[in-house]
Structures are given as C-alpha cells and as structure tokens.
Amino acid sequence: MTDSLFVLFIIFIACFVCSAFFSGSEAAFFSISRAKARTFLGSGKKGAASLDFLKRDPNRFLMTILVGKNLSNITAASIGTILVIVFFGNENMLLAIVVAILLVAAMMLIVGDIIPKAYATRNPEKLTLTVSPFLHILSQIFSPIIWICDRLAYLISGNRPLTENMMTEEDIKEWIHAGTEEGTIEEEEQQMLYSVLEFGDTSVRKVMTRRQDVVMLEDTATAAQALAIFQDTHFSRLPVYQGTTDKIIGILNIKDLLAADFTADSIYQHHTSIASLASDPYFIPDSKKIDVLLREMQKNKTHMAIVLDEYGAFEGVITVEDILEELVGDILDEYDTDEAEIVKSSDGKYSIDASCSIEDINEELGILIPISEEYETIAGFIMTHLGHIPSIDEEITISGSKEKIKVTHMNANRIMRIRLELPPEESL
C-alpha cells in the first residue's frame, strides 16, 4: 500500500470514529433532561457548563451534530469508494462501486450508528459530560455553516425551532407514570403530583361547597342562636344573609363572636344581632381557577369566599381548606366522619353518596349511567329521571340497563345516599 493510500485509509477510519462520536453524543444528549444538566452544573461537575450551554440552545447543538456527522459520512463514503476502486481496478468499476456502497453503508450503520447509540443510552451522564466541551468548541467552529443552515431552515419552515424545547404537561405525567411503574415514585406521590399539575386547570365550581350544603345565618339571629349553630355544625365560619339567601352580607367568624363584649348571661338572655360582628364577604365567580383564588385569599387574608354564578346568584362557598384538599386529599379534623362516597356492601350492592358525580360512579364501577348537561350528580340524575322529589326506598330503573337505584337516606327534600345494584355479571 502506497503512502497516499495509507493516508486515505487512516482518514477513512477517522471519519467512522467521528461519525460514531456524533451519533453517540446525540443519543446521550437527548437522554439527559435540562433539569439534570442544571443539577450537574450546581454540583460543579467537569463539563457541566458546556452541557448547560448546549441544553439552553438545542437547535445549535443539533446543527453541530448534523454538520459534523454528515461531513464525516460523506468523506468516509468518498474515500471508501476510492479505496475499493483501487483494490478492484478500473476494469471492474461497476462491481467496485456496488461493493463500496454496501460496505460503507454497513459500516456506517453498525460502527457509526448502532454501537455508539447503544453505548450512549446506557451511559448518558458520563458521555455527555465528557463530550460536551468538544461539542461546545465545534459549535463555535461550525458557526458560519450553522448560520447558513439556520437561515435556510427559516426560509423553509418559518420561525420555528428544529427541536421542541417545551415540555408539555402530558410529557411530565408520562414521566411520573413511568416512575411509578419503576417503583421510584409511590402511588400516593403520583396522585399528589397529578393533582399539582391539574391544580391550575381546576375551577372553583368543581371544588366549592354547593348552596344546598351551606349552613347559613340570618342577620336577625342573636348571638345565642349563632353560637348554638356553631356548636351543632363545628364550623368556624358561617355566611350571613339578609332576607334571602341570595343576599349574603357577611361572614361570621366564631372567634369574633366569642371575643365580643358579651357576658355569658347576656348571650343567652338578650337578643343581640350578629350582623355587626360579620366581616365583609369576598365574592368570586364560579369560573375562577383555584390556583389564582388561593393566591388572592392568601394576599387578602381571607379563609372563605362566596361563589356566584353567571347571573350573580349565590351558588356556594369555598374555603382555603377546600382548595388544599385538591392537592393533598381530604383533611379530616376531630369532627369529620370519614365516610367513603362509594361503599360496597356484603351483598354486592353499593351505598353511594348522592352528591357523587356521575362520571366518578361510571369510572369507579365500570357502568354507563347517562350523562347530561342538566345534572352532574347521581341525586340530580334521580330527580331529573323521576320528575319529582323521591321518597325513601323508592326505586329507579335505568332505561336500557339492568342497574337498579334505591333512595336510602333523605334530609327533608334532599337525597343523601342511594343504593346501586348491579347485574350479577357486572358486579365488581
């Protein structure tokens, strides 16, 4: 082999090494998240600064990889073709070209792509920290070529990045789900993380205590009457209305009631109005997002807000505790009862809180109770289906289905709990 052919052979091998370098770097780089790169930077690891620089401009990194890899592959293919032609001679030119194409393509695929990427995916942290300084330098060397390619890409696709920098909420959920499957994230942690992601999308309407469940005081009530209601309900705050429940004029805090200048005798013997003790109500629309509301309540030092519908009518109340429960689950105090919304009895029937939503029941039991804009809860479904206020033990059969519903508990005209009976083949 002549010196010139030997030099070409060395360049040929070097091109494959470069191609493997760029392929492995690409696989390792996209296996490391930007958050991980920041962690490396914070811990002062060698090469972390270059990695963070490339992560902040992934388009530049990708351009560097594409330019370097294509230059390596084109050079390797050209030199490989020359070497094969020299080996076969000019009289076998066609055979030489075919062999060159097959040989170089196979080497590029195996040596220049598969092997380095397989190694990179198994050692992404070590590899990225090692190669990032070199890629940083190459990105500066290739700057003119990168600028030209970037301008061409802009003319073709507009002002859109070659790589998608934004991680979506669905991407984060997939990472959390994968962490749960691998055992690095507990199921309780998974639910809490999901709640955090959905927190900003949740409206007050979903979290509030609805009007029919709100205990209220009339402004003409005496301190003694108010104190009795506080004792019965164990609530710390109650809305105060004037004349009609649509006209909320304040919120009474039990601390203000107890701190008032009343003696024990005067509380129970005199008919003192509590309206003057109530603080101004904080009104909000039912469409407000709870993350925004929480910040407002923290800023205003308010623990309860009055929720109004689109027509300005009283729809319910929401407290800081209601909002926090969306993140951490139910917060039970010594007066709360931990009764599940859906309870399976020994005979295979289900006792269900009438305020439970149709969607939750369908999802939990795997059934298809009809959903409509006219109602959200199973109580609303029953009232709409019957067209009248049911009585205890009244049964409802769902049209086109074998499920049976029986009203088991009522509070005046309000349905409290129902019993749902599934067909034997559907029972969980």
Domain that holds residue 181: 169-199
| The pLDDT of residue 269 | 46
Residues 284, 388: one domain?
Answer: no
Q: Rounded to whole angstroms, what are the CA distances from 261 to 226, 244, 257, 258, 366?
A: 15, 29, 9, 8, 57
Residues 209, 243: one domain?
Answer: yes
User: Is 164 within a domain?
Assistant: no
Residues 140, 48: one domain?
Answer: yes
Residues 298, 348: one domain?
Answer: no
User: Is 141 within a domain?
Assistant: yes
Residues 120, 10: one domain?
Answer: yes
User: Is 218 within a domain?
Assistant: yes
CATH number of the domain where residue 234 is located: 3.10.580.10
Residues 19, 143: one domain?
Answer: yes
Residues 133, 229: one domain?
Answer: no
Residues 24, 143: one domain?
Answer: yes
User: Is 188 within a domain?
Assistant: yes
Task: Divide the 428 residues of the chain into consecutive groups of 10 and give the mean pLDDT of each group.
Answer: 77 87 87 79 82 82 86 85 75 74 81 85 85 87 81 68 58 76 76 77 86 87 86 88 90 86 50 79 92 91 91 91 79 56 76 85 83 83 86 80 82 81 64
Of the residues 299, 328, 357, the one at which a domain ends = 328
User: Is 335 within a domain?
Assistant: no
Record the pTM.
0.53
| The pLDDT of residue 135 | 87
Residues 19, 144: one domain?
Answer: yes
Residues 110, 12: one domain?
Answer: yes
Residues 189, 208: one domain?
Answer: no
User: Is 269 within a domain?
Assistant: yes
As a whole number of Å, the CA-based R_g of the chain is 35
Residues 211, 316: one domain?
Answer: yes
User: Is 162 within a domain?
Assistant: no
Distance linking the first and last C-alpha atoms of the chain: 79
Q: 185-206 pLDDT, tens per residue?
A: 777 777 777 777 777 778 898 8
User: Is 239 within a domain?
Assistant: yes
User: Which of 127, 17, 128, 24 has its CA nearest to residue 73?
Assistant: 17
Q: Count the domains in the chain.
A: 4
| The pLDDT of residue 303 | 92
